[in-house]
């Protein structure tokens, strides 16, 4: 039986990506293989982070009890969790659930894509301002499709320029959904809109993290 370290679990609205604004049940795992400068969940990545140990069946039972169909596995980094493939398969087998994995873009998703076509992936591309760009797994862009998303969290014009170039180089706007979000408090969303206009970024969506505007940006469990 697979066991997982879960930092928190809760129901809220999805603050970003394809299902933004919809109800979702979140399972946040501890631990991450990156250390982004703007990370808003560093507390879940620390070696001494508090957690509850749950089996795959306990996670599934909790999700079903909420009555919410959208499921978001997040972190931390979900795809580095031992036996995460077992949990993904368990959730994917329930056709009432819509499962999304939020991943930092550094982990090869090929093996997970091969497991099932009923899981959507939202991949971060870590821009220069994150300090983690060298860790990106570019081969992932060969496997994404229209139910998936690539998210660029930008804190500067340099970040935006990199996002523009990567989107063009990999034709991401044709393969998947593409979002640009501001690092909260680092760049004015209006500047992102101006950049998108100047660079004719058709098909790309500006997305604000809804939960940071509804609740205190530092609040957990939302």
For 67, 85, 110, 151, 197, the CA distances from 92, given in Å and listed in that order, are: 16, 10, 16, 23, 39
- 3-state secondary structure (DSSP) of residue 119: strand
For 97, 214, 221, the CA distances from 205, given in Å and listed in that order, are: 25, 20, 26
Mean pLDDT of 181-185: 90
Q: Tokens 């990106």 label which residue?
A: 136
Q: What is the pLDDT of residues 102-143, one digit of tens each?
A: 999 999 999 999 999 999 999 999 999 999 999 999 999 999
Q: What is the pLDDT of residues 185-195, one digit of tens each?
A: 889 999 999 99
CATH number of 3-214: 3.20.20.70
Q: Tokens 């060298």 label which residue?
A: 134
- 3-state secondary structure (DSSP) of residue 40: coil
| Burial of residue 100 (number of CB atoms within 10 Å: 0-12, 13-18, 19+) | buried
The partner residues of 27 in beta bridges, in order of sequence, read 9, 73
Greatest Cα pair distance, the chain, in angstroms, is 53
Whole-number Å distance between alpha carbons of 67 and 62: 9
Whole-number Å distance between alpha carbons of 138 and 76: 20
Instruction: Judge if pTM exceeds 0.85.
Output: yes
State the pairing for strand pair 23-29/3-13. Answer: antiparallel
Whole-number Å distance between alpha carbons of 114 and 88: 12
Q: Is the peptide bond before 28 cis (omega within 30 degrees of 0)?
A: no
71 vs 76, which has greater pLDDT? 71
Name the residue among 47, 57, 42, 107 with its Cα closest to residue 80.
107
Whole-number Å distance between alpha carbons of 210 and 13: 8
Q: What is the pLDDT of residues 15-68, one digit of tens each?
A: 887 888 899 999 999 989 898 888 777 777 777 778 999 999 999 999 999 999
Q: What is the pLDDT of residues 153-180, one digit of tens each?
A: 999 999 999 999 999 999 999 999 999 9
The domain segmentation of the chain, as residue ranges, is 3-214
């Amino acid at each position: 039986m697979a066991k997982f370290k879960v930092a928190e679990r809760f129901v809220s609205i999805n603050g970003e990506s394809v299902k933004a604004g919809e109800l979702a049940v979140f399972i946040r795992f501890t631990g991450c293989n990156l250390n982004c400068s703007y990370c808003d969940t560093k507390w879940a990545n620390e070696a001494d982070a508090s957690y509850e140990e749950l089996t795959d069946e306990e996670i599934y039972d909790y999700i079903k009890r909420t009555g919410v169909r959208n499921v978001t596995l997040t972190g931390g980094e979900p795809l580095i969790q031992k036996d995460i493939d077992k949990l993904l398969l368990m959730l994917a087998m329930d056709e009432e659930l819509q499962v999304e994995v939020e991943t930092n873009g550094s982990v090869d998703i090929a093996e997970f894509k091969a497991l099932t076509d009923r899981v959507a992936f939202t991949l971060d591309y870590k821009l220069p301002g994150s300090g983690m760009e060298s860790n990106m797994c570019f081969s992932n862009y060969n496997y994404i499709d229209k139910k998936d998303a690539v998210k660029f969290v930008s804190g500067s014009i340099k970040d935006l320029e990199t996002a523009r170039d990567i989107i063009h180089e990999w034709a991401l706007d044709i393969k998947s959904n593409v979002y640009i979000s501001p690092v909260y408090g680092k760049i004015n969303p209006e500047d992102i809109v101006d950049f998108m206009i100047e660079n004719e970024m058709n098909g790309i969506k500006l997305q604000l993290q809804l939960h940071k505007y509804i609740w205190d940006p530092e609040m957990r469990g939302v």
